[in-house]
């Protein structure tokens, strides 16, 4: 096999992978000193929304290697829409069984949560993020091109009944489309206890309509909310893309912002992504992908796969370059990559 698969591990590789003969112990470190311990697994690139913005055994094998050999501490299931994948409850249970210390989460559009929330909780899913860009049913239909707003609300209720807490709402803020709802979402957080995360609009929409003018900077979101509902910073135990806040008056819920364009968290990024077709991406905006499905089908050993993953992470990009002259948009959209 070509590439890094099957390559002899020389002393340089030992220094950054941490291999000990017979007892692999790998730190997925890149050339900028960042350690990847957060894995995003896209379980499907299919989606039951058509937004204007964005094999079980193989996945499980890779997840086992990344958790047990490489120190991955967080796994998030994404899509497309993960709940349209047949057997998602069984896959969730298999991943949850790898190591009880792993933080297993999912990002979903919520349309099937009413039917699946309880089963997912029983299967071992710990946390839920629900993508919801508007609180107006007519605007919701225009954004996702389905009349399913009430089903998402029912899904949120079912998730709460199943014991998910806190539930996070992901809101992609777009100027002229939903930026007039920032305070409405803050009020919802205070009333229902949700953690609302406002995400800057990134150039990964399927239609390619992104423009810098449509981006609402995270600092403007926080300033708008803080004027109405004073905020205080919430401490973080680990580096994270979101800057989090609580309400000073003690109201439930919270606010987070992800300044992925105006002040990207690339310098502390700890994420890697496994696409639905078995390719490893070290950045949402990577222009290259690292094939893992092919080597697995060709009979690659666990050690060879871990070596390939370590080599890919070692080459991780410094940052995404949005707003710079040499920025190149990836060929795949968010739903094809996995968020």
pLDDT in tens, 283-338: 888 888 999 999 999 999 999 999 999 999 999 988 877 766 666 776 665 556 65
57 vs 52: which has the higher pLDDT = 57
Segment 108-120 mean pLDDT:
97
The helix or strand, by DSSP H or E, that contains position 122, with its residue range, turns out to be helix 113-123
Measured on CA atoms in the order 245, 249, 250, 252, is the torsion positive or negative?
Answer: negative
pTM: 0.85
> Measured between alpha carbons, how far is residue 63 from residues 26, 261, 295 in Å?
14, 30, 16
> Measured between alpha carbons, how far is residue 174 from residues 14, 160, 223, 305 in Å?
46, 28, 16, 40
322 vs 248: which has the higher pLDDT = 248
The helix or strand, by DSSP H or E, that contains position 273, with its residue range, turns out to be strand 271-274
pLDDT at 179 over 60: yes
Q: How many CA atoms lie within 13 A of 14 on its CB side?
A: 8
299 cis-preceded (ω within 30 degrees of 0): no
pLDDT at 11 over 50: no
Segment 235-252 mean pLDDT:
87
Q: What is the 3-state secondary structure (H, E, C) of 81-102?
A: CHHHCCCHHHHHHHHHCCCCCC
CATH number of 11-337: 3.20.20.70
136 vs 1: which has the higher pLDDT = 136
Segment 153-161 mean pLDDT:
97
Lowest mean pLDDT among 176-190, 201-215, 252-266, 284-298: 201-215
């Amino acid at each position: 096999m070509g590439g890094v698969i099957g390559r002899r591990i020389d002393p340089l590789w030992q220094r950054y992978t941490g291999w000990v003969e017979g007892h692999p112990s790998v730190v997925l470190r890149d050339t900028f000193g960042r350690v990847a311990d957060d894995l995003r697994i896209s379980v499907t690139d299919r989606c039951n929304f058509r937004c204007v913005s964005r094999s079980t055994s193989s996945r499980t094998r890779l997840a086992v290697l990344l958790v047990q050999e490489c120190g991955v501490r967080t796994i998030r299931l994404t899509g497309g829409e993960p709940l349209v994948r047949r057997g998602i409850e069984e896959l969730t249970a298999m991943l949850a069984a790898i190591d009880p210390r792993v933080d297993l989460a999912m990002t979903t559009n919520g349309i099937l949560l009413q039917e699946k929330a309880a089963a997912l909780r029983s299967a071992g899913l710990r946390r839920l993020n629900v993508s919801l860009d508007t609180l107006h049913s007519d605007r919701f239909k225009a954004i996702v091109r389905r009349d399913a707003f009430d089903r998402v609300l029912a899904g949120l209720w079912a998730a709460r009944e199943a014991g998910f807490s806190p539930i996070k709402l992901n809101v992609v803020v777009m100027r002229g489309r939903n930026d007039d709802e920032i305070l409405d979402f803050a009020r919802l957080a205070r009333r229902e206890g949700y953690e609302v995360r406002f995400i800057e609009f990134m150039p990964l929409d399927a239609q390619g309509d992104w423009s810098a003018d449509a981006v609402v900077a995270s600092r403007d979101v926080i300033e708008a909310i803080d004027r109405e509902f004073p905020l205080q910073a919430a401490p973080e135990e680990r580096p994270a893309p979101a800057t989090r806040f609580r309400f000073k008056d003690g109201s439930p819920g919270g606010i987070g912002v992800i300044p992925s364009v105006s002040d990207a968290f690339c310098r502390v990024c700890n994420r890697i992504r496994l696409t639905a077709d078995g390719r490893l991406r070290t950045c949402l905006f990577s222009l290259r992908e690292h094939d893992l499905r092919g080597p697995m089908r060709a009979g690659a050993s666990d050690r060879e796969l871990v070596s390939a993953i370590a080599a890919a992470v070692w080459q991780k990009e410094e940052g995404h370059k949005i707003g710079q002259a040499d920025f190149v948009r990836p060929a795949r959209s968010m739903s094809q990559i996995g968020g």
